[in-house]
Amino acid sequence: MSGAPLVVAVLAGGRSSEHDVSLSSGVAVRDGLSAAGHEVVWVEIGRDGVWRRDGQPLSVMPGGGLLGADVAFPVLHGPFGEDGTVQGLLETLDVAYVGAGVAASAVCLDKVLFKRLMSAIGVAQVDYVGVRAERFRRSREQALAELQRLTRLGLPVFVKPAHQGSSVGIAKVSAEEQLAGALEEAFAHDGLVIVEAAAAGAEVECGVLGALDDEHDADALALASEPGEIRFSGDFYDYGSKYSPDAMELRIPAGISAGAREQVRELAVRVFEASGCEGLARVDFFVDGERVLVNELNTMPGFTPTSVYAKLLEASGVPYPQLVDRLCRLALERYARARSYSY
């Protein structure tokens, strides 16, 4: 691996419904960093939000760093970890950390805001409508009538909490009378819900990995992996399809044309840069022939060696220990750049 061994604080767990997924990702990152020759400090964040080191509550001080670590690796998924909150705390502690910064984390976890950004830069995506819980509950019938008038979405549609990952709280709605119930279920997870049109074609995912300072090719700040295609047995790619044994198959390379493959890779990097992401991301697409639609971007996707992101990068020539090592080096480069500015 490049450079001297590091002390890396791995943050895992968290308050979100993806707590257990985060712990699995964190263990894999810990083991990968150890295999790369680094010292790991394990910090577990409970469902109660308390940070613990060796089972004891952890106190931190602004500007005081984090347990003497050179870099923090927040392997956190969903709200209270992937949404800019923990990133802001790490900025306050004055410690380098892996992954997207505060603004990009917040934008990308908000599915409605992310889609508005994609619209602003002219990226093709599925049609959608954002619905806020407060407005829905104040004028339920009016809100439903407005949604039903938006016939451009058609049926079925997918109803999703706007700030959740791992397909938590998602429902497929095939009849108008199911819409209110699906919205109420999604509102149990989030005050903002997105209603999306169904999309034809293959579900394709592409990993993005930041380029180190001495690797920049022209203006490219990141590298795109070989795209992979998601195959699943269920009606749609829900939580069970993602985490039940043998419920999902990842095919690398994806069964799409060479032209669509290049579109996916180019769009992945474009979306990554436009969102202000750093370090890593997984960008998800729908591909129907030569038509490529952006679905969403995950700033901290599942991170076990068998997770989609790690498999995509491994198929592209970056084995797991090298991947986690590289992400720490990228974090340190960003930290050094940020501290070189005058404030």
- 3-state percent helix, strand, coil for the chain, nearest multiple of 5: 35, 25, 40
Statement: residue 218 has pLDDT above 70: no
Q: So what's the pLDDT on residue 244? A: 54
Put simply, whether the predicted model's pTM sits higher than 0.75 gets the answer yes
pLDDT mean across residues, the chain: 92
- So which residues are the catalytic ones? 18, 166, 243, 282, 284, 296, 298, 302
Structure tokens at 225: 């992996």
pLDDT band at 131 (very low <50, low <70, confident <90, very high): very high
Q: What is the mean pLDDT of residues 186-190?
A: 93
For residues 201 and 80, what is the distance between their CA atoms, to the nearest angstrom?
Answer: 33
Least confident of 35-39, 96-100, 139-143, 261-265: 139-143
The pLDDT score that the predictor gives to residue 50 is 97
What are the structure tokens assigned to 302, written together?
Answer: 């599942």
Share of the chain above pLDDT 90, in %: 80
Question: Does 150 score more than 60 pLDDT?
Answer: no
Confidence of residue 145 (pLDDT cuts 50, 70, 90): confident
Say yes or no to pLDDT of 245 above 70.
Answer: no
In whole angstroms, give the CA distance from residue 69 to residue 82.
20
Binned at pLDDT 50, 70 and 90, residue 140 comes out as confident
User: Could you report the per-residue pLDDT of 51-108, keeping only the tens digit for each?
Assistant: 999 999 999 999 999 999 999 999 999 999 999 999 999 999 999 999 999 999 999 9
Higher-confidence position of 147 and 25: 25
Least confident of 136-140, 224-228, 273-277: 136-140
Beta strand pairing status for 157-161 and 192-197?
Answer: antiparallel
Separate counts of helices (H) and strands (E) for the chain? 11, 16
Higher pLDDT, 215 or 78: 78
Q: Is the pLDDT of residue 284 over 60?
A: yes
42 sits in which H/E element? strand 39-45
Both tokens assigned to 122: 């002219």
pLDDT at 136: 92
pLDDT tens track for 153-165:
788 999 999 998 7
The DSSP call for residue 182 is H
Strands 39-45 and 51-53: antiparallel
What does the pLDDT average to over 250-270? 97
Answer yes or no: are the C-beta atoms of 231 and 248 closer than 8 Å. yes
Looking at residue 169, its pLDDT comes to 82
Handedness of CA 203, 132, 189, 25 (dihedral sign): positive
What is the pLDDT, as a whole number, of residue 312? 98
Distance of alpha carbon 174 from alpha carbon 160, whole angstroms: 14
Task: Give the confidence band of 235 by pLDDT, cuts at 50, 70, 90.
Answer: low
Question: What's the pLDDT at 238?
Answer: 53
Query: What mean pLDDT is predicted for residues 294-310?
Result: 95
Domains contained in the chain, CATH given? 7-99 (3.40.50.20), 106-123+200-299 (3.30.470.20), 128-197 (3.30.1490.20)
Report whether 204 contacts 229 (CB < 8 A): yes
Q: Which residues contact 9 (CB under 8 A, 6 or more apart)?
A: 40, 41, 43, 66, 67, 69, 71, 72, 73, 95
Task: Considering only residues 90 and 175, tell me which one the structure prediction assigns the higher pLDDT.
Answer: 90
Band (pLDDT 50/70/90 cuts) for residue 291 is very high
DSSP secondary structure string for all residues of 286-339: EEETTEEEEEEEESS---STTSHHHHHHHHTT--HHHHHHHHHHHHHHHHHHHH
